[in-house]
Amino acid sequence: MLSWRSGVVVLVAASLLCSAAIAGSGWHVVPSQDVAGSDFDELDGTLVVGSSEAWAVGFSRVSGDNQFRALVERWQGAAWEIVPSARIAASHDTRLHALASTGPSDVWAVGTNTTPAGYVNHGLIEHWDGAAWTRLRRASGEPDAATLLDVSADSPSDAWAVGWFVNDASQMQPLIEHWNGSSWKVVDGAFGGQSYFDRLRAVSAIAPDDVWALGTTGRHPSPFAEHWDGNSWSLVPVPPSGFDSSLDSVTAVASDDVWAVGGANVTDTLVEHWDGSSWSIVFSPNAPGTQVRSFLTGVTALGPGNIWAVGVAASSSSERTLIEHWNGTSWSIVQSPPAGVDAELLGVAGRRGGPLFAVGARDVFSPQRTLVLQH
């Protein structure tokens, strides 16, 4: 699961709780599929391609099996159904984390494939051509011990995937891979080697010369941002955001309207905005209640004044889903529907005019099941 679970639960300041007024909802749980005989099912990412076309990816484990298997689900206007992912040997551990698309027959999914020989991780890249999922060749130049966490595409010949790898000195280092229309290749980024814990978590490709990649550095992480201008990656300053902070998802309305979300100070949500010249922190509320940790894991833009973010509100005894909305002026918490005992949202995606989906997991302390909400 995501790293936020390892954090220490502390008291949330009363002043922040007062600001977390619950707004109207409109969200409801829709049936999703779990693998037969599984004891663990999770959806990490989702993608809306059209008014009657959406995808979700994650991973599953059959009871008694030590290996996870990539999980792909598809929605075609009526119900979510499991779709076979790319063929990979059953002895491999495969997990998918994120999706991107430029159309119904050009969909990317990325994650991790662990081989049984030496338990070595490699980036996993799968592609949907309108008929079936296929696994693509490992990116040229990709080192061993690699993981891909996010992917974004602005055209069929321009896509980016990010994550990290572990080098020979056991250091986590940022990883950037690029699709040029015919193959994937590792591209040097602007950040790395500053700690044993440097990784990229999110990417948004707006245009061939306008791509954002966000990551964290340090055991007690702090965020950093990289930008691609069509020729090279460069570091762009982000404001200080407190102890144990991260930006885990990014979405763009336009080149001068980009949003990123995550968590800060162990207990608080974190939202940052790019206005075309600089990144700034925008106030976002925390979930109400005492001893609650609020964290945002996914964000999607439906328009300049219509941004949705999802995540988790966790206490020492339970976890519940967290949904927030930007109306063009401020962020507010939107009431989540009851979603079982202990639930979390890990990704969100939508399109103007609908649909809008959020995905994650429920009953997270075994047997864990998939969760899909629709607005």
Q: Is the pLDDT score of 20 beyond 50? A: no
Collapsing DSSP states into helix, strand and coil, what is residue 255? coil
Whose tokens are 């144990």? That residue is 244
- List the Cα angle 96/175/226 in 5-degree steps: 110
232 falls within a domain: yes
Give me the pLDDT at residue 316, please.
81
Q: Average pLDDT in the 310-339 region?
A: 94
Residue 8 lies inside a defined structural domain of this protein: no
Task: Compute the distance between CA of residue 203 and CA of residue 200 in angstroms, rounded to an integer.
Answer: 8
Does position 117 have pLDDT exceeding 80, yes or no?
no
pLDDT score at 11: 27
Using CA atoms, how far apart are residues 107 and 130, in angstroms rounded to an integer? 8
CA distance 148 to 65: 24
Judged on CB neighbours under 10 Å (0-12, 13-18, 19+), 115 is middle
**291 pLDDT tier (thresholds 50, 70, 90):** confident
Number of domains in the chain: 1
Question: Do the domain assignments include residue 10?
Answer: no
Q: Chain centroid to CA 355: how far? A: 19
**pLDDT at site 339:** 87
Q: 82, 81, 78, 80: which is closest to 70 by C-alpha?
A: 82
Q: pLDDT tens, 145-194?
A: 999 999 999 999 999 999 999 998 889 999 999 999 999 999 999 997 78
What percent of the chain has pLDDT above 70? 93
pLDDT of the residue at 180: 98
The residue written with tokens 């340090």 in the block is: 218
Tell me the two tokens of residue 60. Answer: 């599953």
For residue 17, pLDDT beyond 70: no
pLDDT given at position 64:
83
Lowest mean pLDDT among 51-55, 237-241, 339-343: 339-343
CATH at residue 341: 2.120.10.70
d(CA 270, CA 272): 7
185 found inside a domain: yes
Instruction: Give the list of residues 6+ apart from residue 92 with CB closer than 8 angstroms, or none.
Output: 67, 113, 114, 115, 116
User: Is 175 domain-assigned?
Assistant: yes
37 exposed, middle or buried (CB, 10 Å; 0-12, 13-18, 19+)?
A: exposed
Long-range contacts of 309-312 (CB under 8 A, 24+ apart): 309/249, 309/259, 309/261, 309/269, 309/271, 309/284, 309/348, 310/345, 310/346, 310/347, 310/348, 310/358, 310/360, 311/261, 311/263, 311/269, 311/344, 311/345, 312/4, 312/344, 312/345
Q: What phi-psi label fits residue 328: left (phi over 0), alpha (psi between -120 and 50 degrees) or beta?
A: left
Range of the domain at 124: 20-374
Helix (H, G, I), strand (E, B) or coil at 285: coil
Question: Could you read off the pLDDT of 54-99 as tens digits, one per residue?
Answer: 999 999 999 888 899 999 999 999 999 999 999 999 899 999 999 9
* Per-residue model confidence as pLDDT tens digits over 190-245: 997 788 899 999 999 999 999 999 999 999 999 999 999 999 999 999 999 999 99
CA distance 294 to 268: 5
The conformation of residue 17, written as its DSSP 8-state character, comes to: H
* 266-to-36, 223, 225, 283, 325 alpha-carbon distances in Å: 36, 14, 20, 16, 21
0.75 exceeded by pTM: yes
User: With 50 as the cut, is the pLDDT of residue 4 above it?
Assistant: no
Output 124 or 24, whichever has higher pLDDT. 124
pLDDT at 106: 98
11 falls within a domain: no
Identify residue 67 by its one-letter amino acid code. Answer: Q
Asked if the structure places residue 29 within a domain, the reply is yes
pLDDT at 1 over 60: no
Structural domain includes residue 2: no
What strands lie across the sheet with 279-281, from one edge to the other? 246-254, 257-264, 268-274, 279-281
> Per-residue confidence at 10, pLDDT binned at 50, 70, 90?
very low
In this predicted structure, the answer to whether residue 3 has a pLDDT above a threshold of 70 is no
Q: Is the pLDDT of residue 296 over 70?
A: yes
Distances (CA, A) of 334 to 306, 308, 370: 13, 10, 21
